[in-house]
Structure 1
Amino acid sequence: MEKKQIVPLGKWGQNYLIDKNIVHKIVAEFNPKIDDLVIEIGPGKGALTKLLSQKLKKFYAVEIDKRVINELKDSFPNLILINKDFLEIDLNGFIAHKQKIRIIGNIPYNLTSPIIFKLIEHREIINDAVLMVQYEVAKRIFAKPQTKEYGILSVLLNFFSETKFCFKVSANVFRPKPKVDSAVIHIFLNKKLPEGIPPNLFIKTVKAAFGNRRKTLKNSFANSIYKEIKFDNIDFDLSRRAESLTVDEFISITRFIANNAEKNN
């Protein structure tokens, strides 16, 4: 019986990877061990899944598209499929395995930021992630201060992880061919964080600072959740803009806010 042709859907940001060389390069970077706890995001037609199935005793995949579920199940007996949106699954449900999760995937580009934020949120139970992302997003992730690409993703991934730019990927290796190039990145989430800095407060501080990108920090904070904080005594020039700050400077501001909040309680 001839297999039904499945057309990638734009509503889910589907672009199927069709180049075997790229698939091998991605899995080589991931370097899975037979007993690793692996979750693949969006296996689609199974380009990465096929190679992963040869290297893992069992693994998981989260796929929202019901059209490919049966074919994936039939093709890969050691694959446990979860037919949901990755952003809606409870990663804490995997804690019973008593090992850290490893993530891999050619992810929907329109969901890159939410997916990365979810990984950061669950960093205590995730070891690392190898992701295919839009090249322009990769440039933002690795951007330096004083550049137009530098922003929230740059700061947060620098703070919470060690991140590696693996390689650029041409649009020609996908079906349908997207209008942009891609890149593979490797995020390691076992970085030791500075003491005395509440992680959630750091995230809120960075988001507040970039909330009005063209405004000074003073104005950005005045229009944020920190509008009640008195910054009069901060040893920092709040006439600067968020894009000029290093990660260490964001840490310094977060520490001031944390201490100020304690005094007001």
Structure 2
Amino acid sequence: MNRTTNDAQLIPHKARKRFGQNFLHDPAIINRIIRSIGPKSDDHLVEIGPGQGALTNQLQAGSGRLDVVELDRDLIPWLKLQFGLNENFAIHEADALQFDFATLRQTDEQLRIVGNLPYNISTPLIFHLLTYADIVKDMHFMLQKEVVERMAAQPGDKHYGRLGVMVQYFCQVHYLFPVGPGAFNPPPKVDSAIVRLTPYKELPCPCKNHGILEKVVKAAFAMRRKTLRNCLKSLISGDELEQLGIDPSLRPERIALESFVKIADYLTDRK
């Protein structure tokens, strides 16, 4: 993300396609995002992909500590120049897909994660971040609108799938507002949206083996137009599904999280 010209002079940096860069420049959208996040003086914020610093200045000013994770090494010197003298700021040159976010904690504090996530890696990055759900207070992301719709989708919705099931296992999902292409430079070819993910303090539907649940959900949506019986035939029979009170003739997009957990727990016990 980049900063508005009211905050600082922008670095002359061309967005790189291989990093999926689209720099945010619309002051109204920037301010709306900051209001949605509501940084507080005792918050430990983490910004993924600060880019040209559109949110960084206000995040830093409003929080107790701000760590930023940036992959583009050409942006690092400028970010250090603009923000590096502040004691509550630290920059990490790293790939967020590989980064260990637990190393940022200084006490038993909860992290608040923010980011304009590159659309080409957004789904695997979300799955990576979900592994840290127990140390995260909330997450606010700019994503492709379709991805946010998939996260928030309910059973029976055309957007409902693996991403929505697994995100909703860990988090409450709040679709906040859409963002048009004109808010970015260069403008992306798709619409964007802001989403808030709030990890549950206690999982409403915990499973016995999370790895088995992931396996079941992945298999179910690998062929989403087929029935649950056909999608999961290598894991469980139609008769066993019926014994669990689940209709094997339904397509996976009609199956609620609770039913996927029931299948996973059955497979865990069967083993």
- Fold in common (TM above 0.5): yes
- Aligned pairs for 1:40-189 (under 5 A) are 40-76=47-83, 77-78=85-86, 79-189=89-199
Residue from 220, 230, 246 that aligns with 1:219: 230
- Cα 1:106–1:57, aligned 2, differ >3 Å: closer, same or farther? same
Q: Is the 8 A contact 2:229 2:237 kept in 1?
A: no
The count of residues paired between Structure 1 and Structure 2 equals 256
Root-mean-square deviation (CA, aligned residues, Å) is 1.9
Matched with 1:208 is: 219
Stretches of structure 2 lacking an aligned partner (at least 5 in a row): 1-8
User: 1:39 aligned to 2:46?
Assistant: yes
Residue range with higher mean Cα deviation, 81-90 or 149-158: 149-158
- TM-score, normalising length: structure 2: 0.88
Aligned to 1:240: 250
1:7 correspondence with 2:14: yes
Instruction: Report % sequence identity.
Output: 35
Amino acid at match of 2:181: A
**Using a 3 Å threshold, how does the CA distance of structure 1 residues 196 and 213 change in structure 2: closer, same or farther?**
closer
Question: Which residue does the alignment assign to 1:197?
Answer: 208
1:29 aligns with 2:40: no
Q: Structure 1 CA distance, aligned partners of 2:47 and 2:101? A: 13
SS of 1:72's equivalent in the other structure is helix
Contact 2:143 2:193 in 1 (8 A): yes
C-alpha separation between the residues in 1 aligned to 2:59 and 2:231? Answer: 46
1:168 is displaced (CA, Å) by: 0.6
**5+ unaligned residues in a row in structure 1: which ranges?**
none
Q: Secondary structure at the match of 1:26?
A: helix
What's the offset of the Cα at 1:222? Answer: 2.9
- Mapped partners of 1:106, 1:196: distance in 2: 31
Q: Give yes or no for contact 1:44–1:68 (8 Å, CA) kept in 2.
A: yes
In the alignment, the residues of structure 1 paired with residue 113 and residue 211 of structure 2 have an alpha-carbon distance, to the nearest angstrom, of 22
What amino acid is aligned across from residue 62 of structure 1 in structure 2? V
Aligned-pair distance for 1:241?
1.6
Q: Structure 1 length normalisation: TM-score? A: 0.90
Q: Does the residue aligned with 1:207 lie in a helix, a strand or coil?
A: helix
Q: In 2, distance between residues paired with 1:101 and 1:117?
A: 17
Verify the 8 A CA contact 1:160 1:191 in the aligned structure 2.
Answer: no
Once the two structures are superposed, residues 56-86 of structure 1 have per-residue CA deviations (whole angstroms, 9 ceiling, x without a partner) of: 2331000001111111111113321111110
Contact 2:207/2:261 (CA < 8 Å) preserved in 1?
no
> Structure 1 stretches (4+) deviating beyond 6 angstroms?
none
Tell me how far apart the structure 2 counterparts of residues 44 and 150 of structure 1 sit (CA, whole Å).
Answer: 31
